[in-house]
A and B are shown apart, each in its own frame.
Chain A
Amino acid sequence: MSDKVNIILNGKHTTANAGDTILEMSRQHDIKIPTLCYDERLKPNSSCFVCVVEVEQNGKKSMQPSCSTFVNEGMHINTSNEAVKKSRKTALELMLSNHYADCVGPCKEECPAGVDVQGYISLIEKERYSDAIGLIKETNPLPAICGRVCVRPCEVACRRNLLDEDNAVGIDYLKRFAADQDFASENYYSPEVAESTDKKVAIIGAGPGGLSAAWFLQQKGHQCDIYEAQPHPGGWLRYGIPEYRLPNDILDKEVERITELGVNIHYNQKLGDNLSYAQLDKDYDATILTIGSQRGTLLRAEGEDAENVFSGIDFLRNMEMTGQRYDFKGKKVAVVGGGNTAMDCCRTAIRCGSTDVKVIYRRTEKEMPANPIEIHESKLEGVEYNLLTNPVKVNKDEQGRVKSMTLIKMELGEPDESGRRRPKPIEGSEYDEEFDYILAAIGQKTDINFLGDINKHSSNGELLANRWGDIDADEQTLQTSIPSVFAAGDGVTGPATIIEAVAQAKTAAHSCHQFLIGEEIKPEPREFFSRKANFKKQEKKDYLERYQNQQREEMPTLPENERVNFNEVELGYAGEAVAKHEAGRCLECGCSALHTCDLKAYATEYQAEQMAFEGEFNDFETDHSHPFIEIDNNKCILCSRCVRICKNVVGANALGLVERGFETHIAPSMGNSLNDTNCESCGMCISACPTGAITENVLFKPLPVKTEVSRTLCNYCSIGCELEIHHKNGFVTAVEGAKGTVNKDGNICRYARFGYHYLNDKERITKPLIKENEKFRPAEFAEVFAHIKKQFSEGEGAHNALFAGARLSNEELYLAGKLAREGMKTENIGSFHYLGREYGYVNNNRHSVPFDQLKDAGKFFLLGSEINTDNAVAGFMVQQQVVENEKPLVVITEKEHSAMSYKADENIHVKSYYHLVKAMNHYLVNNGKENRMFIDAQCADYEKYKSNLLSSDYKELVKQSGISENAVEKLADAYNLEPNAIMIFSEKEVDPATSQEVLNLAMITGKLGKTAMGVVVLKEKNNSQGLLDMGIAPSLKIGGVKPEKTDDTLKMKVQEGAFKNIMILGEDPAGTAKNQQDIAKLIDNASFTVVQDAFMTETAKQADVILPASYTIESSGSYTNTNRFIQQYTQHFSTKTGKTTFHQLVALLEQFGIETKKDAAYVMDDIARDLPGEVDNKLNFIATEYAGDKAMFNNGADFINKKFDEMFEKAFTGKRVAVEASIYG
């Protein structure tokens, strides 16, 4: 629309197109307005009210949903003032108050560093260990270390505990397993490092905090130098944790991954000692203090100054520093405390030779902060426990050494602020117990004696200590009072865990980065997560029905009698199968739409609170009954996009809204399972859902991780849809529609959406195979190519044959043609897909109505086409016109049950398409109803056709058509009289002769080659047209130019088995033949068969040589769609086969001594050169004598098409294929 109106948009005068909604107008002005219920493919619904804007007109201000409010002259529109923001936030908060669902699992929520546990477990399950480590290292660079010694808040939170009696998923063990695998891998994970910023950061301390800070900042391009007081890296990891838990070589390897990025570590440099802040301030742009809490505290009891009383950490550190172990042989050792340091001390004491080690702890075992596994192991190793006991004083001997300790019995009182019951001494219960050593593991202190040095040299502020004696830093940003100094870890928090230090380091690194690049320092925005636990405590019964008990994989350990040393006790999972099984225990609490959910994104943007409005919430069962589509009403926000798209675009009307008010929800029609509705399993509802309420019921363990998106073309049918392949490093997680040239709305059908699993399938053939003694062995390409050359060159060309399928690109087909004709010296070239029917279909779509003209159709006649399943995206275009614009749809079918029947305004069941159309033509011509003007101006050979046609017996034609004379004539008139009548037929059902008669009909009625009228031809495969255009038929020339005399003998030769050497590229005739006899002799009689395919097809099994085919996404080329629209695609994945199909053909041609271009784009130039210059624009009437042959092969003779159909059918009849199983192998 060109009319403009004047508006005031956010205070500025501007113009807008009259007739646009405010949302459309805003998008044109690059103003982002959030919306959940708006879908470009549908009329606005205005239900979510997230898109509201403030509109002022005629002096009246109001909130209006921008998606459905039209701009008007003089309108004042405010898209983001406080009132607007408030309304949007309130709308989001209201939805969230009834959103009983988890965005992520409690494991990630409870992890201080927010590691994506579910994500990496899923990657481990897929044996993608380095990807898993990459995911972990986005937030935690120490997976091998944490995988061994983390305190595992994730496992405490794990919901598996609810099911398997407190046996969480072995999250940490899995992490360790992945880390160890990654260590062993050549392609271990290493992040990209940004270009240098020329900024330098000094980091004090090479403990977990310092190492992490360096890891994050170095990646941003800042040079990180770590200064470490000790001679080795690791800090507490090395000097506090004994080696039997964390071997130094693991630590060193993990540190190496960090230093590899360019991080320097300077050892034996202690701030305030031999390193002055003066130098740091001079040399560096920023400093991060990650100093840890190094000082142990003693017992705080009388006599603690006795000899042989140590702090636990000094005890551990001394040994690591000196390399000398204490000799505790025959000594009685007391360890005071209940945390992990106490465990490290007691278990180390055993390893130092003591057989009498006692842990003294004032509460019970239940309250011990140590990991239960540590307590368990310590007991195995012989440690004893004096629980509910507390030291009163240390008794010395004459030399001032420990002699004994006076202990007192305790009892538990009321819970204190930590929730644990407070221990109280039992009066008069004191007793003495003898000890030789006392190790106090009851706490640590931060040592900040370098404060003076810093403050002496600081020019812009003073570093302060807080009231606990730790470094004072801003809680949110970790910036200290000196702007260039940041601090993280125990030095700020006091003694805490490794993972907390990592988390802090990430925060400090984030702030430091902002400081370095001159941005305002503010914490990373809080990401919104919906939580089930916000609504109610999760209980066993909530999970019982859906999940089964599954035994936890135990960690193999050293036998107890082999532990009096510092060898690692935990040995790691035995292998992949164990890891996989353990990964399988994950309940997948997080939402699979985590990264695509608009509700979550807006909730984050508007900082919405889930519990701003508390109250009742709906708790629906998730509906898994459909094999491909999962409905979780708890996540539904009632935008009804699924309902609307299913009705208006798909026409299936399988979903609806039920109940009223707060109880309203989406349900399959009549409350049935989706399976029992008219659902066509196209997945359009999934594409419409803005949250995770309708998702794909995936075959693999869901992988809610951030994916890359690669754009490619669909290789199923001939519509030519562009796709977005979502993948994590090549593992395809989902396929969405791209807004393509043909599929402008981004719609795709079930084939594209659910038929991508072959891309991940491990049974794929990735190497050339040669059959020897009835068995295939892998071979190199060179060997195979030479072999092929030899076989095909030996005999006469007439004994060679080459078949190529419609999955191949134009370029590949062109090369295949060259290979056959110039290399193999044969005209025995064709496709099984078209076998015997090639010439009848060559040009049937020269004047096919382009899809984007379907919207202007007046009436649709569907002749022999299950368009809603076979070519569903075209079906959607038709259906939208039928539903929204009430265009009539006539379905003409030979089938007893057509899947289209229920959508039609009129159903006509016929016996023979051929006779029907010919009878219609006869009627029109015989009654002078032809469009004479059109015929005279545009067509050739009419008179010949006419006399031929009229010589046939009309009554007989009508009889054979299967409907009455009256019905034939009514139909013919209906088509003739509707100016914008479009007849759509599919080659799958309609033979070549009928195809020709339909074209004749369109010419008789003057509809061929005009806008929005005439004929639409639907072909079966993505490049069916390419086969014909590239000359894949005997004597057929480039551009689909038919030879003067067509050669129909290829089919006969196939049936006779007339060839010695056969090459079959991308077709599976043996697996797809409608009649096995048609194909039996072909391969039997041949002495040498080469098959190129991606899987071991029935045909491939019988081959002598198999070439591995590449996928569309692994190569570049072009397909020609059914409208003869050529679309190019480019390579996104490196091919698993080593050589793409295209390059294999190039190499084969070279083998035959034929030079060709080595790049698909240049081959296209050759193709263009070979095209015929002049094309006769006349429309030719061609008479036909009898119905032509129907296809001899199903599924376009394509294995992948066939497998999808089989899988699809199976999915509804039985259980869906198990997760591990290959569908295609």
Chain B
Amino acid sequence: MENLKVIVDIGSSGIAAGAGKVHTHLQNIIKQDQLPIDLQQTSGIGMCYKEPLVEVKDADGTYLYGDMTPDLIEDVLHSHLKLNVPLEKYVVHTANFDTPHNAFMNDQTRIALRHCGVIDPEKIEEYEAQGGYQAIKRLFKHKVEPGKIIQTIIDSGLRGRGGGGFPTGLKWKFAFNSKSDEKYIICNADEGDPGAFMDRSLLEGDPHAVLEGMIIGAYAMEATGGVVYCRAEYPLAIKRLNKAIQQAHDKGYLGKNSFGIDGFDFDIYVKEGAGAFVCGEETALIASIEGKRGMPRKRPPFPAVSGLWEKPSNINNVETLANIPWIISNGPDKYAAYGTEKSKGTKVFALAGKINRGGLVEVPMGISIEDVVYKLGGGIPDNKKLKAVQLGGPSGGCIPAHLLDTKVDYESVTATGAIMGSGGLVVMDETTCMVDVARFFLDFTRKESCGKCTFCRIGTKRMLEILTRITEGDGKPEDIDKLLELGEEVKKNSLCGLGQTAPNPVLTTIRYFKDEYEAHINDKKCPAAVCKQLLHYEIDPEKCTGCTVCAKACPTEAISGERKGVHVIDQDKCIQCGECYSKCNFDAVLVS
């Protein structure tokens, strides 16, 4: 009998869930019991909500097990080895039978993520075994002109996946047209959006795809050097990247005369960023690589003309680059077959928030948000009602439930007031206060403002102050207009994307949930019962058992009552902290 192949998913989210322990345990028992098992590793298939994941391949097929623990994996192996049957109740994905989670994988179209969770990212051989580095080799073999490569990318319709959505091929063309003795291709792996982890997963799961994309780009636009600007908070990604770079070197894919091409001395190094959100903006990113304070500057000149070290430079996002080898290998038409008229191909989304299946999915452009949330994401937990989806990270905007049929393509998303961004998708249900959400996101962006532009530096601060006072019950009737007015000014008058988009959450929530704002301001009420200072707590005398738990929990001694008697809240003393509500075992504390 052939050995069983067992692959543990060891990416950052897997490790966080305990994949490391599972892997160690497996190593131990395999050694100890001399089990006929080939233990391998891979990284992040995207099913984060089921991590740790372990894939078992037996003669009959492949079974992905979720929620694994060291004990459970023993059971799983036992079942496969001894009984020769998969332990169905833990299987989250397989082709051999239905599982409640199959849809999560089956409904995806994986191009960028094609190797994630499939290969061992630390082994260049595995990448090559999957057709890796074939694209570039083919280009060299057929002596394809740079112009033709660029045309291929233009034809594919690939647009910048970092958020801007600028046609990648055109960007390359601009860089190609800038003649210079030095030229750079930069991979933007700064990924500053909280909740977004597309780039990290790609770098952890398939670093060679990104490198190959860069090498193809470098060749196409005649770049002389490459930099991956990766945030230092991604140690595993950086480790695997560096390992991959070393492997590529060893193979002669990087360095002097790469791939044996005379004069093609392309090399790549990793620059670790200190985690400033604004450094995802290309001019700030360049400043940061140059050792300066990460602050954006006015464009033009665009980096394609004057970028890193004032030399022509091209900056692509990780996901964009990961698509490149696939497009070269499969042809632009095949890529362009996916998606809509103006938004081709696929897009990776990080699903988060109030959703059953949080994780990473790659879907064709043009799929509706509804399908993403319900078909792939499995809907909202506890059968709550969906209220809105925040798309595009903290500087994106929210799309309300009634626009759920919006297609995910650049134009449709922008029309709603949100942006595609890098693909963060946060689902919010009825228990979410939209004013509070806007405040939360704006608090992030205003802290991350580099401080350069007046509007971004002070304007976002003033907007935040208005939002804060609204959520604290001190809102004034003119506040909504003030937010709209100031928000528009901040958008219009900021140098970079951070300021230009920071007001989006505020503007879109006002656009779609003005009634919530009005309730906060005029009625001093938070309809979603989130804004603490607007809540009103009362004890239901019918339900109160006089257990005194609430009175003991109250930090301001606002609750009084005899033991076994009905308790009351003194509203003058109540500070709306919610302690009584969370402590009451009888649902006797009512919030309104």
Contact = CB atoms under 8 A, between A and B. Distances in A.
Interface of A: 44-50, 52, 62-63, 65, 68-70, 86-87, 90-91, 94-95, 97-98, 613-616, 637-638, 640, 656-657, 659-664
Nearest to B450: A660
A450 B495 CA distance: 65
12 contacts: A46-B453, A46-B495, A47-B453, A65-B298, A68-B297, A94-B458, A613-B486, A660-B276, A660-B447, A660-B448, A661-B450, A662-B458
A581 B446 CA distance: 49
B462 A615 contact: yes
Interface of B: 276, 293, 295, 297-298, 300, 446-455, 457-462, 465, 486, 489, 492-495
A696 to B, nearest CB: 26
Given A63-B492, A613-B462, 20 more contacts: A45-B297, A47-B453, A49-B494, A50-B454, A68-B297, A68-B298, A69-B298, A86-B489, A94-B455, A94-B458, A94-B462, A615-B461, A638-B457, A657-B451, A661-B448, A661-B451, A661-B457, A661-B461, A662-B458, A664-B450
Contacts of B454: 47-50, 91, 94-95, 637-638
B453 A87 contact: no
A657 B292 CA distance: 11
Contacts of B449: 660-662, 664
Contacts of B459: 90, 94
A46 B293 CA distance: 16
Contact of A91 (B446, B452, B493): B493
Contact of B455 (A91, A662, A664): A91
A613 B453 CA distance: 17
Contact of A616 (B450, B451, B461, B494): B461
A614 B489 CA distance: 17
Contacts of A637: 454
B300 A70 contact: yes
User: Across chains A and B, which 3 residue pairs bring their CB atoms closest together, nearest first?
Assistant: A664-B451, A68-B298, A94-B458
Nearest to A661: B449
Contact of A638 (B446, B451, B462, B495): B451
Contacts of A659: 451
Contacts of B492: 62-63, 87
A46 B298 contact: yes
Given A46-B298, A65-B298, A661-B448, A97 B462 contact: yes
A47 B449 CA distance: 12
B465 A615 contact: yes
A67 to B, nearest CB: 8
Contacts of B446: 661-662
A659 B461 CA distance: 15
A222 B190 CA distance: 71
Nearest to A21: B298
B458 A95 contact: yes
B304 to A, nearest CB: 16
Contact of B293 (A47, A97, A656, A661): A656
A615 B479 CA distance: 13
Contacts of B298: 44, 46, 65, 68-69
A44 B486 CA distance: 25
Given A94-B462, A97-B462, A662 B453 contact: no
B276 A662 contact: no
A662 B451 contact: yes
Nearest to A91: B454
Nearest to B445: A661
A616 B447 contact: no
Interface centre among B446, B457, B459, B465 (most CB of A within 10 A): B457
Contact of A90 (B295, B300, B457, B489): B489
A662 B461 contact: yes
Contacts of A662: 446, 449, 451, 457-458, 461
A69 B298 CA distance: 8
Contacts of A640: 452
Contacts of A97: 458, 462
B522 to A, nearest CB: 21
Nearest to A70: B300
A49 B493 contact: yes
A24 to B, nearest CB: 14
Contact of A49 (B276, B297, B453, B462): B453
Contacts of B493: 49, 52, 63, 87, 90-91
Given A63-B493, A656-B293, A661-B447, A616 B465 contact: yes
Contacts of B486: 90, 613
A637 B451 CA distance: 10
A91 B462 CA distance: 12
Contacts of A98: 458
B212 to A, nearest CB: 34
A618 to B, nearest CB: 10
Contacts of B448: 660-661
A638 B449 CA distance: 13
Contacts of A663: 451
Contact of B452 (A69, A86, A638): A638
Contacts of B489: 86-87, 90
A657 B489 CA distance: 25
A1081 B461 CA distance: 73
Nearest to B277: A660
Nearest to B493: A49
Contacts of A657: 293, 295, 451
B461 A49 contact: no
A95 B455 CA distance: 9
A659 B462 CA distance: 18
Nearest to A83: B492
The residue in B293, B295, B462, B494 that gathers the most chain A C-beta atoms within 10 A of its C-beta is: B462
A52 B447 CA distance: 25
Contact of A664 (B300, B457, B495): B457
A48 B451 CA distance: 11
A62 B448 CA distance: 24
Contacts of A613: 458, 462, 486
A455 to B, nearest CB: 46
Most chain A CB within 10 A, of B446, B453, B458, is at B458
Nearest to B310: A886
B299 to A, nearest CB: 9
A90 B493 CA distance: 10
Contacts of A65: 298, 495
Contacts of A52: 493
Contacts of B462: 94, 97, 613, 615
Nearest to B491: A63
Nearest to A65: B298
A656 B294 CA distance: 12
Nearest to B455: A49
Contacts of B450: 660-661, 664
Contacts of A616: 461, 465
Nearest to B293: A657
Contacts of A62: 492
Contacts of B455: 49, 90-91, 94
Which of A46, A70, A662 has the most chain B CB within a 10 Å cutoff? Answer: A662
